[in-house]
């Protein structure tokens, strides 16, 4: 049994623009640029045969999923496991302030070693985020759809992809990835 997943990050918010961390606790809307990015993404995926879109409950992901749904005529289902990772005490802070306040965690979070136990104070570890994403994808492989869109977030997507051998990497807003599940195996196909 093969399933194709087109996984995309949400469009830009004012928090992204200002280099402030949102995490799972800040539910910001897409800004004007983010709405335009979502429209461009929708054009890019409109002919891929997406049958259903599973989305994080956070507005920025859902608004991006909505733009894609309008072009693909695919229904959207909220899946809480697709939400962004919690960055705890760092939510709402500027990136540069987080880096200054927690230099050791910063080095581990963005380092090449991929210590999956790394977490921000009061937040989820990389491993917990990854495990939660696998719960979501394992639910999706049990559905009837063969081609699925997934609207999620930077850290959530990143640590899922790390398990498939891709990353660490910087991820732009509306970054798009093709992942294949076939006969019990996950395969990272490409960045689109």
Residue count (the chain) = 192
Distances from the Cα of 127 to the Cαs of 30, 105, 145, in angstroms?
28, 15, 28
- Tokens describing residue 182: 């076939």
Q: Look up 10 and say whether it is catalytic.
A: yes
Q: Look up 145 and say whether it is catalytic.
A: no
- The vertex-54 CA angle with 62 and 93, nearest 5°, equals 45
Q: Indicate which residue of 81, 84, 124, 145 is catalytic.
A: 84
Its sign, for the CA torsion 106, 121, 23, 26, is: negative
Rounded Cα gap, residues 90 and 107, in angstroms: 15
- Residue closest to 4 by CA, chosen among 187, 192, 191: 187
Point out the residues that are catalytic. Answer: 10, 84
């Amino acid at each position: 049994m093969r399933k194709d997943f087109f996984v995309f990050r949400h469009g830009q918010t004012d928090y992204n623009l200002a280099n402030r961390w949102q995490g799972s606790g800040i539910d910001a809307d897409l800004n004007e640029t983010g709405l335009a990015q979502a429209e461009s993404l929708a054009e890019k995926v409109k002919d891929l045969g997406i049958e259903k879109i599973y989305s994080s409950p956070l507005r920025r992901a859902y608004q991006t999923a909505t733009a894609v749904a309008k072009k693909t005529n695919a229904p959207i289902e909220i899946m809480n496991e697709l939400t962004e990772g919690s960055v705890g005490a760092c939510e709402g802070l500027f990136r540069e302030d987080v880096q200054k306040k927690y230099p050791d965690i910063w080095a581990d979070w963005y380092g090449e070693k991929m210590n999956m136990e790394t977490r921000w104070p009061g937040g989820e570890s990389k491993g917990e985020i990854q495990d939660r994403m696998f719960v979501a994808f394992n639910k999706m492989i049990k559905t009837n759809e063969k081609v699925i869109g997934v609207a999620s977030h930077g850290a959530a997507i990143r640590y899922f992809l790390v398990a498939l051998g891709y990353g660490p990497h910087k991820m732009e807003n509306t970054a798009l990835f093709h992942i294949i599940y076939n006969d019990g195996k996950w395969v990272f196909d490409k960045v689109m």
